[in-house]
A and B are shown apart, each in its own frame.
Chain A
Amino acid sequence: MSFKVLSPGLMSTLQDFGRQGYQKEGVNNSGAMDIISLRLANMLVGNDEHEAALEITLAGPTLEFTADTLIAITGADLSPMIDGIGVKMNRPVAVVAGSVLKFGGCLKGCRAYLSMAGGYDVPMVMGSKSTYVRGSVGGYKGRALAKGDVLGSGQAGSYARHLLKNLLCKGARSFRAASWYVSLPHLSGKEMRHPIGILQGLQMGAFSDESLHDLLTKQFTITNASDRMGYRLEGPRLLLKEPLEMISEIAVLGTVQVPADGNPIILMADHQSIAGYPKIAQVIGADLPRLAQMRPGAKISFREVPLKEAEEQLLEMERYLSSLKITLKHKA
């Protein structure tokens, strides 16, 4: 299973769960921005959910399949088409060698995930296939995809081989998608408008009462200077009660830090392990996949969630994914 890149799109990188155990070397975690869509994309083609998938941002690539390949596309709806015919998402799709996958307009979300049965055949760097573009590390040659790249798969399991054969035996000119699919609750329109949950940040108490009120009641805009490292927000300026020359300390995925200009930055997948600006809040884990699907220009608001509830929501998400895994096993 493999494809060749005819055009790379805006920013297409391989991402898995990211690097763990290297933060003491200052090595960023990286990994998929929307980890739920990544996990689903892998499950649908019978991969281990930790496998890497292609994270496709806003404007997708054009890919020519050089062998019969079982894929799945999850996450943002970037209007995927194979040989000009729309491809349904969130299900396994058998693609015939020679077919061309293209993407059109971005209808919903920001990042799509393209999995390939058997996973992507790239070397593990520091325990992960994730691409960290700023550090030229991991993924396909440490960078986003470029024209002419050829990406092959590892050994596909029996589930994938069986499914590919079954879908193609009925005869297909370009591709055939499974008739069943899995829905992702975090990408529904209603969910996308819901305020993002936050915990208290380590320096929340150092901010003025007015700024804390603004944080929980006003809207912010995700600016164009946002990327996989951080979402830079604009809105009411968040100010300290009094100047505070911070001692740099731990920062994790979802930490909301505020430089002196008062515009908050939410640290995302390529975030640093240590940060020097006061931390006003921490985005809850269960809302990070939804945040990752919000694009520059989108409005964002926040609500405070107790730690216990945030953890329950995270466990609920894990239970949902476990039940999905069991359902998909029965399909096999």
Chain B
Amino acid sequence: MKNSYQILPVSEGCLYVKFGENISPEINRQARKLSNYVEKHPFAGFIETVVSYTGLAVLYAPEVVRKAGKNKMNAFQIVGELMEEYLPQMDSMPDEPSRVVEIPVCYGEEYGPDLEYVASYHGLSQDEVVDIHIGGEYLCYMIGFCPGFPYLGGMDERIATPRRETPRLAIPARSIGIAGSQTGGYPISTPGGWQIIGRSAVDMYDPAAEHPSLLQAGDLVRFRSISVEEYREIRGEAL
């Protein structure tokens, strides 16, 4: 299949290869594939890649790229041309297989302060929102926003809810939320604008691990609804 893409400058040290305008497994698959390809074929000045829904960010040190580059092109043009060469070549590479990961979540009340808002926004009961949320299998499109934060696709449009107008200054660690038609979780306490519907009982981020993030782009994720008692048992908290 022939790729359609745009190469856009983000900063002096970052460009974005954009494969599409919407959240789709196929668009994201191309971003993950280019990521693998660039990592296997690093260039002078290459720092890292970041997969996101619609494309791949490539980060580089412009002074190193320029030193190794040619003529009077700037770093964006040099790396951009390289991506144009990589894109047709990556199609010959096989896809990486997906892992399946289950996350136990305690929904609503103190752990999900926005569940009531999400339910009333759609004229559903809170239980119906939870049933819809645990009914899905979600593709982890990308990790970002904060350490180990997964952006999950495949959420049912019946519970899609806009972000809060003003972000909260602190959201508790492991909160599970909704933003538009995206769902995901906050592995650490951080400011953020998502609607919070529950809390994961398992850590989503461990800085001492070789791979600090529980999830990675390309994983398949399921949620399981658990009681407050089970949540506390998993966390090792007193009842």
Contact = CB atoms under 8 A, between A and B. Distances in A.
B128 interface: no
Contacts of A248: 52-53, 142, 144-145, 151, 179, 182
A26 B148 contact: yes
A208 interface: no
A331 B74 CA distance: 35
Nearest to B165: A260
Contacts of B14: 250, 252
Interface in A166-198: none
Contacts of A23: 48, 50, 59, 144
Contact of B207 (A135, A229, A310): A135
Contact of A21 (B47, B143, B165): B47
Contacts of A261: 165-166
A275 B167 CA distance: 12
Contacts of A144: none
B213 A25 contact: yes
A272 interface: yes
A318 to B, nearest CB: 5
A137 B146 CA distance: 13
Interface stretch (B105-113, B187-195, B220-228, B230-238): B187-195
B4 interface: no
Interface stretch (B5-13, B82-90, B91-99): B5-13
* Most B C-beta atoms less than 10 A away, residue of A26, A252, A273: A26
Interface residues of A, number: 49
B172 interface: no
Contact of B180 (A24, A135, A245): A245
B141 to A, nearest CB: 9
B10 A26 contact: no
Contacts of A249: 16, 52-55, 57
B162 interface: yes
Contacts of B47: 20-21
A210 interface: no
Contacts of A21: 47-48
A274 interface: yes
A136 interface: yes
A318 B66 CA distance: 12
B62 interface: yes
A216 B10 CA distance: 19
B63 A252 contact: no
Contact of B10 (A225, A260, A282): A282
B48 A311 contact: no
B8 A260 contact: no
- Say whether chain A's binding surface is mostly helix, strand, loop, or mixed: loop
Contacts of A245: 162, 180
A136 B207 contact: yes
A171 B194 CA distance: 61
A104 interface: no
Interface string B114-158: 000000000000000000000000000011111111010000000
Interface in B19-47: 21-23, 35, 47
Contacts of A314: 12, 62-63
A276 interface: yes
A213 interface: no
Contact of A22 (B52, B145, B165, B212): B212
Residue among A136, A199, A314 with the highest chain B CB neighbour number at 10 A: A314
A254 interface: yes
Interface of B: 8-14, 16, 21-23, 35, 47-55, 57, 59, 62-63, 66, 74-76, 142-149, 151, 162-163, 165-167, 169, 179-180, 182, 187-191, 193, 205, 207, 211-213, 216-217
Q: Pick the 7 closest A-B CB pairs, nearest first.
A: A274-B144, A250-B57, A25-B213, A26-B143, A273-B144, A272-B145, A249-B52
23 contacts: A21-B48, A23-B50, A23-B144, A24-B49, A24-B217, A25-B212, A25-B216, A26-B146, A26-B187, A247-B21, A247-B54, A248-B144, A248-B145, A250-B16, A250-B57, A259-B166, A259-B167, A272-B190, A276-B145, A276-B179, A284-B12, A307-B12, A315-B66
Interface of A: 20-28, 125-126, 134-137, 142, 199, 202, 225, 229, 245-250, 252-255, 259-261, 272-277, 282, 284-285, 307-308, 310-311, 314-315, 318
